[in-house]
Structure 1
Amino acid sequence: MDQRNGSSFSGFILLGFSDRPHLELVLFVVLLIFYVFTLLGNTAIIVLSHLDAHLHTPMYFFLSNLSFLDLCYTTSIVPQLLVNLSGADKSISYGGCVFQLYISLGLGCTECLLLGVMALDRYAAVCRPLHYTVIMHLRLCALMASASWLIGFANSLLQTVLIFLLPLCGRNKLDHFLCEIPPLLRLACVDTSANESELFVVSFIILLIPVSLIILSYSQILRTVFGIKSAAGQRKAFGTCGSHLTVVSLFYGTAIYTYFQPNNRSAQNQGKFISLFYTIITPMINPLIYTLRNKDVKGAMKRVLWKACDSC
């Protein structure tokens, strides 16, 4: 088999944080705790959204989609990272790397689009409250969510095929903790300017267009909220929309930095730590952000627990 082909060796070595061995044990413990909380928090939202009739609304339909996505996203990355940090094995098979890139990139792209769709939902709820149920009907919600998943994984398939068609000339040391496009591009032994240009255009579409849509939606939301005379109504609107804006800022900010950062050593090292935010930290804090001050979710949790206790 041609030694220039990436599949000619058994896999890749994920260097991860091996240049900072004193941090690996700390990161292992912290990320294990984060992962457990991610599983518990997002599972709780999915279960509550399914069991409580009060949460059978477009907002919680999209939120349960987001929680399921985050569960899959972190699971596609964290177990491999924990093995890497434990020092037992820093390798990943060629097929495993292809699978991880396809799944994690597909889920990441889907989340970008889904957050944009959720901004439209918030716009309809705040700016068109009398027509909300007519505008955001179940069929439209299902269509927008399905389109987000379809586009996200279609783009991931394209990017995965393009990146693994590049000859790697036997290079297999990946300076990252997961298989991601920017570090994989740096392994190629040919000119990657065409791939970088294509990635820039796709990243602009997947990242910046939804961000622009979110900004436009929230500019209209703010105008409407400031027009509400009731202080209680303003607080409720700001509470609901503020949660979404916090998630958007954390996820998009770190993802944009990763895919539009300069290609130098300092940026690469920073990129590994920045990637921790949108791959691990954001999925963990999403449930807290959306539920900590959310009376609907707290009420649903009490009702579900009461029912469980009554049935005992």
Structure 2
Amino acid sequence: MYLVTVLGNLLIIMAVISDSHLHTPMYFFLSNLSLADICFTSTIVPKMIVDIQSDSRVISYVGCLTQMSLFMIFICMDDMLLTVMAYDRFVAICHPLQYPNIMNPHHCGFLVVLSFLFSILDSQLHNLIVLQFTYFKDVFISNFFCFPAQLLNLDCSDNSSSKILRYIAAVLFGFFPISGIFLSYYKIISSILKIPSPGGKFKALSTCGSHLSVVCLFYGTSSGIYFDSAVSQSPTNCLGASVVYTLVTPMLNPFIYSLRNRDIKSSLSRLLSRKL
């Protein structure tokens, strides 16, 4: 599954780079999303494979913090890029004449850099919270990686500054991106309903189908794992959601975008035929 994830996302990146027809904002953001998915799953799965082969479940304190930091950077990058892609679809459908000017290369690059900076900020906020804990020599985490929500649950002290930082991180990197996606699609659906012909409505809506599928898969699994780790008392309850979150979702993203997208399929076929 890890190999399929890496190879699938690499094919998306290579197809976008090699085909000049795909040098558009939508595919630029898609290639960055694929890169973030590769990095995201690579922070977790190789260590898990080593643990399975060596029959060891131990990770060092520094290793755990490093894994959590990288995990937060790339998962937040996914979150931000999905929001940016929703904004791109909003501009394309609601303001088609102004789309080339609004989504110019400089603006697209700025949005990706801004997403990366926000991701680093999110990671550092979580590090700041965890580093306030008392150092534990032996701690059992009911997961196969250092999941932030379960690490934060180790804090038994009544630390008001830690709670404030948690709320800030939740609002900045949870509420705002989801609100941006909902607002974009509210505007998109309002504009689509004004299109008189059924064919025009279907064409406009079809450009959002892949993105909507990935958004539902991403937020469905992430909310499931966060709620399970926060509410459930069973140590193995959220493991299924964790596997879907860290393995299945990044693996399915290339299939969702390639199978539902004629441009990606034709570009991949041309790329593979040249290589063969």
TM-score normalized with structure 1 length: 0.81
Size of the aligned set, in residue pairs, is 276
Map 1:82-231; keep pairs closer than 5 Å: 82-86=49-53, 88-188=55-155, 190-191=157-158, 194-231=161-198
Letter in 2 for 1:301: L
Q: Distance in 2 between matches of 1:228 and 1:299?
A: 29
Letter in 2 for 1:277: V
Matched, 1:46 2:13: yes
Structure 2, unaligned stretches of length 5 or more?
Answer: none
Contact 1:169 1:188 in 2 (8 A): no
Matched, 1:284 2:251: yes
Offset at 1:262?
7.0
Letter in 2 for 1:141: C
Q: 1:179 to 1:151 in 2, by over 3 A?
A: same
Query: Which residue of the partner structure matches residue 269 of structure 2?
Result: 302
Matched, 1:78 2:61: no
Q: Distance in 1 between matches of 2:42 and 2:128?
A: 22
Deviations 1:61-119 (A, max 9, x none): 00000000000000101111223344621111222111101101111112111111110
Contact 1:225 1:237 in 2 (8 A): yes
Deviations 1:135-189 (A, max 9, x none): 1000000001100011101220221132033104433222211112222123345
Structure 1, unaligned stretches of length 5 or more?
Answer: 1-33
Contact 1:251 1:277 in 2 (8 A): no
SS of 1:166's partner is coil
Deviations 1:217-254 (A, max 9, x none): 11111122233344443333222211111111121233
CA RMSD of aligned residues (A): 2.1
Contact 1:58 1:141 in 2 (8 A): yes
Q: Which moved more, 1:200-209 or 1:105-114?
A: 200-209
Offset at 1:35?
1.1
TM-score normalized with structure 2 length: 0.91
Query: Which residue of the partner structure matches residue 233 of structure 1?
Result: 200
Contact 1:116 1:211 in 2 (8 A): yes
Letter in 2 for 1:202: A
Aligned residues with identical type, % of pairs: 39
